[in-house]
């Protein structure tokens, strides 16, 4: 895969559609409260020759926590409520349209988050390289440490599954 001009969002949507990736990401989100966009960033960032600086990492994580709390999570909560409560209301076309709109707004918020994350490392000339599994694991280890999560064998196996898919892109 040539990444010389691929945007973080384009990379993420391609990876997310690959076998097992969405399921693993959602499991990590639901069970460990990890930010799927940062997980995906760790893999996209493993295509960049110079890793993000510690200051850039701190900025990305702080921004993402704030963005998720103020925009993504409220939209996700509304979407999940609509999905959970659908049987308590008449099934109208308008109700389904509303649910789809909220889902699209949640995706739009995640896309904006990814665009801002990408802009935070584009302060320097990015040099792309073939995917580096070791760089991805370094990025993930940094993120997990910031979240206070220990990299267990089970977690490493899940992340390795995503890495295998990245290698196939």
pLDDT in tens, 41-52: 999 999 887 778
Residue 1 pLDDT class (50, 70, 90 cuts): very low
State how far the Cα of 153 lies from the Cα of 148, in Å rounded to an integer: 16
Among 2-6, 27-31, 38-42, the least confident range = 2-6
Mean pLDDT of 134-158: 95
Mean pLDDT of 19-39: 96
């Amino acid at each position: 895969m040539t990444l010389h001009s691929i945007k973080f969002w384009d990379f993420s949507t391609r990876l997310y559609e690959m076998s097992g990736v969405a399921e693993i990401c959602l499991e990590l989100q639901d069970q460990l409260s990890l930010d799927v966009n940062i997980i995906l960033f760790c893999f996209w960032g493993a295509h960049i020759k110079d890793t993000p600086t510690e200051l850039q990492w701190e900025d990305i994580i702080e921004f993402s926590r704030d963005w998720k709390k103020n925009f993504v999570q409220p939209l996700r909560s509304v979407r999940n409520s609509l999905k959970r409560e659908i049987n308590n209301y008449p099934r109208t076309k308008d109700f389904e349209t509303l649910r789809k709109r909220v889902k699209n707004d949640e995706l739009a918020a995640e896309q904006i988050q990814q665009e801002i994350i990408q802009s935070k490392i584009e302060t320097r000339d990015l040099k792309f390289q073939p995917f580096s599994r070791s760089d991805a694991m370094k990025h993930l280890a940094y993120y997990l440490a910031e979240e206070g999560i220990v990299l267990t064998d089970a977690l490493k196996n899940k992340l390795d599954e995503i890495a295998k898919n990245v290698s196939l892109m």
